[in-house]
Amino acid sequence: MTKAEKVEFVLSKLEELYPEVPIPLDHKDPYTLLIAVLLSAQCTDARVNKVTPSLFTVADNPYDMARLSVADIADIIRPCGLTPMKSKGIHRLSEIIIEEHNGQVPQSFTALEALPAVGHKTASVVMSQAFGFPAFPVDTHIHRMLYRWGLSNGKSVEQTEKDAKRLFPKELWNKLHLQIIYYAREYSPARGWNLYNDVITATIGRKSVIREASKNPSPVKNRRSGA
């Protein structure tokens, strides 16, 4: 297959499997999404979704959050890990949103990435999922998949993002990055992965990846098909 044919296969298969892709992190507006994405750093979405109800019950907007102490925030978010950095970041970014943005989450990469504890990936998620701006947030799942599929060299998430934006149509980015995440979690995880389930990698994958995966011949039955 040519690279263009690989891209078409990926798009077709993902649309078949995931025609609808709900945002994995529970939120109700741009601010709660920003906080949830920040908490998801080195933490699972499932754990974040267990923690945020307690946090958002006491503070679901920058004004209430800024009135909490850093210690109060830390006590609630501790299960998400990286507690000192995240609690200080959440408190200070809430103050900045009030002081510099009239209490509203800014709608630009530059302003978002200037907030404490907010990196490019977090800003990309907020821009795409809260504001509908074309972006391609690259997390560990997308980084892994584009390498396994031979669509990026895997050297850095920055390079993976550049390759994804170059290969996939811009109008599909916001939905596609979620489709890839869902696929990676269900069919192509980092651990416990079996090529038998992973039809995209098995069809278009990097030869070295397929060769390594084939060393484990025992099939794992597909959860979706029930086969």
Is 50 marked active-site? no
pTM of this prediction exceeds 0.85:
yes
Q: Using one digit for the tens of pLDDT, what is the confidence trace for 85-104?
A: 999 999 999 999 999 999 99
Instruction: Look at residue 95 and tell me if it is in a domain.
Output: yes
Residues 53 and 109 in one domain: yes
Is 121 marked active-site? yes
Instruction: Look at residue 142 and tell me if it is in a domain.
Output: yes
The candidate with the shortest Cα–Cα distance to 164, out of 178, 143, 182, is 143
Average pLDDT, the chain: 94
pLDDT at 45 over 70: yes
Q: pLDDT value at position 217?
A: 56
Instruction: Look at residue 220 and tell me if it is in a domain.
Output: no
- Beta carbons of 79 and 112 less than 8 angstroms apart: no
Domain-terminating residue out of 129, 161, 194: 129
Residues 95 and 148 in one domain: no
DSSP for 54-106 reads: HHHHH-SSHHHHHHS-HHHHHHHHGGGS-HHHHHHHHHHHHHHHHHHHTTS--
pLDDT tier for residue 226 given thresholds of 50, 70 and 90: very low
Q: Using one digit for the tens of pLDDT, what is the confidence trace for 31-44?
A: 999 999 999 999 99
Residue 83: both structure tokens together: 């507690």
What is the CATH classification number for the domain harbouring 190?
1.10.1670.10
Instruction: Look at residue 25 and tell me if it is in a domain.
Output: no
Instruction: Look at residue 61 and tell me if it is in a domain.
Output: yes
Q: Using one digit for the tens of pLDDT, what is the confidence trace for 151-173?
A: 999 899 999 999 999 999 999 99
Residue 159: both structure tokens together: 């390079």
Domain-terminating residue out of 80, 105, 129: 129
Which member of 6, 60, 139, 198 is catalytic? 139
Residues 78 and 101 in one domain: yes
Which member of 121, 162, 163, 221 is catalytic? 121
- Split into its structural domains, the chain has a count of 2
Interval 166-183 mean pLDDT: 98
Instruction: Look at residue 60 and tell me if it is in a domain.
Output: yes
Residues 15 and 37 in one domain: no
Domain-terminating residue out of 129, 146, 170: 129
Q: pLDDT value at position 224?
A: 55
Residues 195 and 119 in one domain: no
Residues 195 and 115 in one domain: no
**Structural domain containing residue 96:** 30-129
Instruction: Look at residue 47 and tell me if it is in a domain.
Output: yes
- Tell me which DSSP letter residue 191 carries: S
pLDDT at 134 over 90: yes
